[in-house]
Amino acid sequence: MAAASVTPSATASAQGARDHARAQDGTTSDTMPVVPARSWPTPPAGVDADDLVWAETVAGGNYTHRVLARGTELRLTDPTGDACAHVLLYCADRPWERLNTADTVKVLWNAYLGQGHLLLSDQGRVLASVVRDDSGHHDALTGTSTLVRNTARYGDGAPQSASPAGRELLKLAALKNGLGPRDLAPSVSFFQGVRITADGATEFTGSAGAGASVTLRAEQALTVLIANVPHPLDPRPAYVCGPLEALAYRARPTAPGDPLWDATPEGRRAFLNTAEHLTARGIA
């Protein structure tokens, strides 16, 4: 019997690979940032397309990261109701000042993230504020999934597997910003909620449904790391996670006179701490 003929791959040579790559020019991808961001087809209401600085759809089981200027607003949207954005925040030029979830819930006397909540560092300063929220299903208590737990539950938790763990993906995002595993503090998560019952147990409340969004305002220049993976308490036996939409655009930081600045005594103090720090550095 004659041997079957084999058709050489179009990308088997350097020239073929180059031609294939160039053929993709001008096309879009559901797994890569839109560049330039202003070409995103549907900017948020009231936002000029030219003010967009980041536009990306993050697939379920994937991650992303970005450095954002002070005053930038970041709108995260859950198009299908199955996204879960596990978020870490760091001061862009001082990564040792980072999101502290314990202080975020303790100082503000509120364990449930929502509009008006401030995301604090352990220095008593505001990293970001939640300026809009139509989900209400978030979590500042549980953290993200781990390699050990995902391996026990799904059979694997490695970044390249079909069920990557959030911490493993956040490690990759961290490395791309000069950070290591020791820099990964507990994260907050958006779009899959948790409540504490009367007996102190955690109760998973799930999603608010498709189309919910939450908008964060960067009160300092921030490095943002995001892993989009199932919540650790999601009871579904399968690894289920939908896409996450991330849109960032130029805006202004919270200032005296803004209702958010004076919403609570603790919040006002945190904003004053932030303003004093930035003023001393010649930033504000």
Mean pLDDT of 248-263: 97
- State what percent of residues in the chain have pLDDT above 70: 92
Per the structure, the count of domains in the chain is: 1
- Decide if 141 contacts 147 (C-beta within 8 A): no
Does a structural domain hold residue 43?
A: no
Confidence of residue 7 (pLDDT cuts 50, 70, 90): low
Side-chain half-sphere exposure of 112, counting CA atoms within 13 A: 14
Asked if the model's pLDDT at residue 21 lies above 90, the reply is no
The boundaries of the domain holding residue 182 are 51-278
**132 Cβ contact partners less than 8 Å away, ≥ 6 residues apart:** 75, 115, 213, 214, 215
Average pLDDT, the chain: 93
Is the pTM of the predicted complex or chain greater than 0.75? Answer: yes
Does a structural domain hold residue 33?
A: no
Does a structural domain hold residue 170?
A: yes
Does a structural domain hold residue 30?
A: no
Does a structural domain hold residue 125?
A: yes
Does a structural domain hold residue 39?
A: no
Does a structural domain hold residue 104?
A: yes
158-167 residue pLDDT tens? 999 999 999 9
**38 Cβ contact partners less than 8 Å away, ≥ 6 residues apart:** 49, 50, 51, 52
Asked if the model's pLDDT at residue 4 lies above 80, the reply is no
DSSP assignments along the chain, one per residue: -PPPP-PPPTTSSHHHHHHHHHHTTT---TTS--SSGGG-SSPPTT--GGGEEEEEEEPTTEEEEEEE-TT-EEEEEESSS---EEEEEEETTEEEEEB-HHHHHHTTT--S--TT-EEEBTTS-EEEEEEEES---EESSS----HHHHHHHHS---TTSSS--HHHHHHHHHHTTT--GGG-PPPEEESSEEEE-TTS-EEEEE---TTEEEEEEESS-EEEEEEE---TT---SS-----EEEEEE------TTSTTTTSSHHHHHHHHHHHHHHHHTT--
Asked if the model's pLDDT at residue 240 lies above 70, the reply is yes
**252 Cβ contact partners less than 8 Å away, ≥ 6 residues apart:** 71
Does a structural domain hold residue 11?
A: no
Mean pLDDT of 1-25: 64
Comparing 259 with 22, which gets the higher pLDDT?
259
**Shortest CA distance to 64 belongs to which of 176, 214, 212?**
176
